[in-house]
């Protein structure tokens, strides 16, 4: 039995919560009576409650995020019904800012901000019978070099099966209005020697995937270079993910990125929009020429796998402007382009644009935009489906050759927009579409519209589909193939399959 349970509902099993491990690492004398128990949003809420209460906890602490806030609300309601004497403490972005749009009234305490020190103080007070009278505790920020690091509290199961989240800094110097990171515009770095010692211990335990949650990894080249050097000195396969500023790649960082082998380095590059007027409106600084230069460098001189981000629904941006930005990015790179729908997170200043630009958001998580003066509800619905099909076809890396036939004579956005509307008419769904059916739909569309000859379409699809070990040629392609192609015998690690499909 553990008196203090730290828990959350992750989006999927492969994810882990670095926040819970930070809290656990800084519980001091209470740590021996505490445990981390993680679930996913697909788990049954009452089953979760049963497992938590089986520990007979005095305190249950939960991390609340946009992806789990509805389930957490139901969970704490259930916990309090069954065990009203159990103290419930909440923390995380979804309870740290007003307005709080999901009811959390049954929680005993809410810690807002960085909770490593405040959580220990609160738990100690509850255990000692000196419960604070204030329900909302404003923790603010902590000195990162005064707290214990969380990395020794990833379990062996985490190391074997899950992503390991790490950080070298907190905060962001920019003030983009859609992002909660803009609330903390002072970047604070962890002491790098101490951090690298922890990374080495993770490496010795067998960790080979490191996902950095820093918003601006390449902001400070001195620190970035030491971290890149850590990985470059290692032998064997590994996977390192960084979120980077698109217009800041000094020569020292470029020289190191060039040395990473294929499928080992992933860079998330935040673009969001290439419309300067829109970017200025939301306080997002754009240096278009520098962005183009750096994307060209990453595309042509490195093996880095890129994720470029674009957002649908920004104030004052219509479909034509968004499409122009997507076409521009596709002319610069073959990388993945993640298409997201604008969300109005509590704590941001996006709402100031509501009246002028007719911004209307859902009040239900994830608080996404549902119409603007420039985009109707129908437009946004179409773009949500566009984004889903784009991920299945373009970002998956499964259709590199065959998908290019779509836009051989036109713009990428315009061509895929028409294709996405056609797919939805055939499927009436954006989920649970098998790889074989995706291939058959693409073949049918290309053939019916006359964009390519059937044999050429089939040849491209065969090359795309049969590059992965263990795949079976779809039945509809067999008439076009004189003999059954063999898939390559290349074993790849679970975290690198998607990257390797893009090579």
Angstrom distance (rounded) from CA 271 to CA 262: 23
Euclidean distance between CA atoms 222 and 192, whole angstroms: 10
| Section 88-92 average pLDDT | 98
What residues have CB less than 8 Å from 185, skipping those under 6 apart?
Answer: 171, 172, 173, 174, 175
Residue 88 in contact with residue 5, Cβ under 8 Å? no
Check pLDDT > 70 for residue 492.
no
Measured between alpha carbons, how far is 368 from 318 in angstroms, rounded to an integer? Answer: 16
Per-residue pLDDT band for 337 (boundaries 50, 70, 90) equals very high
Measured in whole angstroms, the distance separating CA 249 from the mean position of its chain's CA atoms is: 22
309-330 CB burial, b ≥16 within 10 A, e <16: bbbbbbbbbebebbbbbbbbbb
Please determine, for residue 493, whether its predicted confidence score (pLDDT) is greater than 70. no
Judged against a pLDDT cut of 80, whether residue 3 lies above it is answered with yes
Judged against a pLDDT cut of 80, whether residue 497 lies above it is answered with no
Residue 285's pLDDT is 87
Read off the pLDDT of each residue in 382-393 and give the average, rounded to a whole number.
Answer: 98
pLDDT at 299 over 90: yes
The confidence band for 143, taking pLDDT boundaries of 50, 70 and 90, is very high
Question: What is the rounded average pLDDT for all residues in the chain?
Answer: 94
Q: Which residues contact 373 (CB under 8 A, 6 or more apart)?
A: 357, 358
Sign, CA torsion 267/233/218/350: positive
Asked whether residue 202 carries a pLDDT value surpassing 80, the answer given is yes
Do residues 115 and 136 make contact, with C-beta atoms less than 8 angstroms apart? no
Answer whether residue 306 shows pLDDT above 80.
yes
How far is Cα 136 from Cα 116, in angstroms, rounded to an integer? 16
Q: How confident is the model at residue 406, as a pLDDT? A: 97
Residue 248: which pLDDT band, with cuts at 50, 70 and 90? confident
Average pLDDT over residues 373-388: 98
Peptide bond just before 307 cis, omega within 30 deg: no
**Residue-level pLDDT at 491:** 54
Are 238 and 260 in contact by the 8 Å Cβ rule? The answer is: no
pLDDT recorded at residue 500: 72
H/E segment holding residue 361: strand 360-361
Burial of 48: CB neighbours in 10 Å, binned 0-12, 13-18, 19+: buried
**Under 8 Å CB-to-CB from 201, ≥6 apart: which residues?**
151, 152
**Hey, what are 482's tokens?**
């004189």
Whether the per-residue pLDDT at 317 is higher than 90: the answer is yes
Residue range 27-86, pLDDT digits in tens: 999 999 999 999 999 999 999 999 999 999 999 999 999 999 999 999 999 999 999 999
The predicted pLDDT at position 495 comes to 55
CA dihedral sign of residues 96, 99, 103, 106: positive
Element spanning 241, H or E: strand 239-244
Report pLDDT for 2.
86
How many beta carbons lie within 10 A of that of residue 53, not counting itself? 16
Count other C-beta atoms under 10 Å from residue 482's C-beta: 6
Question: How far is it, in rounded angstroms, from Cα 240 to Cα 264?
Answer: 6
Share of the chain above pLDDT 90, in %: 90
User: Which residues are 369's β-sheet partners?
Assistant: 361
Task: List pLDDT tens digits, range 432-459.
Answer: 999 999 999 999 999 999 999 999 999 9
State the pLDDT at residue 247: 86
**Res 399 pLDDT > 60:** yes
Predicted TM-score (pTM) of the model is 0.93
Q: Per-residue pLDDT for 494 more than 60?
A: no
pLDDT at 490: 58
3-class secondary structure for 75-117? HHHHHHHHCCCCEEEEECHHHCCCCCCCCCCCCCEEEEECCHH
Bridge partners (DSSP) of residue 308 are: 269, 337
* pLDDT tens sequence across 93-139: 999 999 999 999 999 999 999 999 999 999 999 999 999 999 999 99
Q: What domains can be seen in the chain, in order of their start residue?
A: 4-145 (3.40.50.280), 163-375 (3.80.30.20), 398-503 (no CATH)
- Are 169 and 218 contacting, i.e. CB atoms less than 8 angstroms apart? no
Mean pLDDT for 478-499 is 72
């Amino acid at each position: 039995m553990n008196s203090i349970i730290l828990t959350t509902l992750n989006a999927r099993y492969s994810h882990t919560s670095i926040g819970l491990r930070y809290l656990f690492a800084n519980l001091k004398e209470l740590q021996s009576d505490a445990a981390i128990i993680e679930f996913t949003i697909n788990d049954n809420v009452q089953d979760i409650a049963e497992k938590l209460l089986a520990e007979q906890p005095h305190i249950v602490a939960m991390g609340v995020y946009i992806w789990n806030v509805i389930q957490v609300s139901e969970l704490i309601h259930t916990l309090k019904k069954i065990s009203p004497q159990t103290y419930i403490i909440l923390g995380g972005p979804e309870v740290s800012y007003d307005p709080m749009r999901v009811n959390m009234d049954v929680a005993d305490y809410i810690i807002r901000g960085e909770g490593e020190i405040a959580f220990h103080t609160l738990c100690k007070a509850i255990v000692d019978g000196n419960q604070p009278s204030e329900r909302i505790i404003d923790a603010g920020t902590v000195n990162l070099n005064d707290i214990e690091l969380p990395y020794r509290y990833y379990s062996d199961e985490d190391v074997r099966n899950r992503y390991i989240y790490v950080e070298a800094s907190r905060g962001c110097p920019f003030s983009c209005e859609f992002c909660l990171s803009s609330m903390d515009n002072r970047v604070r770095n962890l002491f790098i020697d101490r951090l690298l010692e922890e990374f080495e211990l993770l490496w010795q335990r067998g960790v080979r995937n490191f996902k950095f949650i820093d918003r601006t990894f390449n902001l400070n080249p001195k620190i970035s270079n030491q971290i890149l050097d850590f990985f470059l000195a290692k032998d064997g396969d590994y996977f390192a993910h960084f979120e980077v500023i698109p217009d800041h790649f000094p020569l020292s960082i470029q020289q190191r990125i060039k040395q990473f082998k294929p499928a080992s380095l992933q860079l998330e590059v935040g673009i969001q929009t290439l419309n300067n007027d829109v970017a200025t409106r939301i306080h997002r600084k754009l240096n278009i020429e520098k962005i183009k230069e750096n994307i060209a460098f990453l595309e042509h001189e490195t093996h880095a796998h890129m994720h470029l981000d674009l957002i649908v629904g920004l104030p004052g941006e219509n479909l034509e402007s968004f499409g122009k930005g997507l076409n521009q990015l596709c002319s610069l790179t073959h990388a993945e382009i993640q298409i997201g729908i604008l969300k109005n997170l509590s704590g941001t200043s996006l709402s100031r644009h509501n009246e002028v630009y007719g911004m209307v958001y859902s009040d239900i998580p994830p608080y996404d935009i549902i119409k603007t003066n420039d985009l109707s509800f129908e437009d946004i619905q179409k773009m949500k489906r566009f984004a889903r099909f784009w991920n299945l076809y373009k970002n998956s890396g499964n259709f590199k050759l065959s998908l290019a036939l779509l836009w051989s004579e036109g713009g990428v956005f315009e061509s895929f927009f028409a294709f996405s509307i056609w797919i939805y008419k055939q499927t009436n769904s954006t989920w649970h579409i098998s790889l074989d059916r995706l291939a058959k739909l693409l073949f049918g569309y290309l053939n019916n519209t006359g964009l390519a000859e059937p044999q050429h379409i089939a040849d491209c699809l065969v090359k795309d589909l049969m590059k992965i070990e263990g795949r079976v040629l779809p039945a509809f392609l067999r008439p076009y193939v004189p003999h059954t192609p063999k898939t390559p015998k290349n074993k790849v690690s679970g975290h690198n399959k998607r990257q390797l499909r893009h090579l």
